[in-house]
A and B are shown apart, each in its own frame.
Chain A
């Protein structure tokens, strides 16, 4: 069963616009991670946010975590065509078990 659920399932934007993806989960976590997957490739780790953190930045990425609402969001600013990919959130619980959602497919049009 999947714990993380991403929303929306698909997102299409123009180059230069911002993209926001959301992730909701059900049980307590140690940390939450976001990954990117290009078509036919493996997953690439983007950012990790721990349960005691509320916001983290990495380049054009901004992640927020609200443990009271059991939700996280990933914001990609000034998107580029190369950002076109599927984005997954993964929760890691205090036993180290990781659970992925079904992802958001982002299309950035040039």
Chain B
């Protein structure tokens, strides 16, 4: 069974440019998470979806970040415009309902220059 797939793996952009990340969760996983991980730190939750509904987006910087999960499957996370401080690894994870273990993708390493 395929795991959580993210693309791209790496992205380098100039500040003020837009960027988008894509995530395909494990089939049948209704819950999808986006995390941001800075170097030397643990993942920080940005948004959690239950099917199409964003049930927790309290940590998402809504002035520049947006996310969507169409049809309750794939999801995209967008930053517009990017700032230098957005450089980090963006991780997507999915799980079955019931606060169970999360399966993580390999992440997208974003560098803003």
A interface vs B, CB < 8 Å? 2, 4, 30-31, 33, 35, 41-45, 48, 88, 90, 92, 95-103
Contact = CB atoms under 8 A, between A and B. Distances in A.
A96 B71 CA distance: 21
A30 B99 contact: yes
Nearest to B9: A40
A43 B104 contact: yes
Nearest to A5: B42
B106 A98 contact: no
Interface in B62-113: 91, 93, 99-107
B91 A99 contact: no
Contacts of B101: 33, 45, 48
B60 interface: no
Interface residues of B, number: 24
B104 A42 contact: yes
B20 interface: no
Could you tell me the dominant secondary structure of chain A's interface residues?
Answer: strand
B45 interface: yes
B40 interface: yes
A87 to B, nearest CB: 10
A110 to B, nearest CB: 25
Contact of A98 (B4, B45, B55, B107): B45
A99 B45 contact: yes
Contact of A44 (B35, B91, B104): B104
A102 B41 contact: yes
B53 interface: no
Given A96-B55, A102-B41, A45 B102 contact: yes
A30 B105 CA distance: 24
A2 B42 contact: yes
Contacts of A97: 45, 48, 56
Contacts of B100: 48
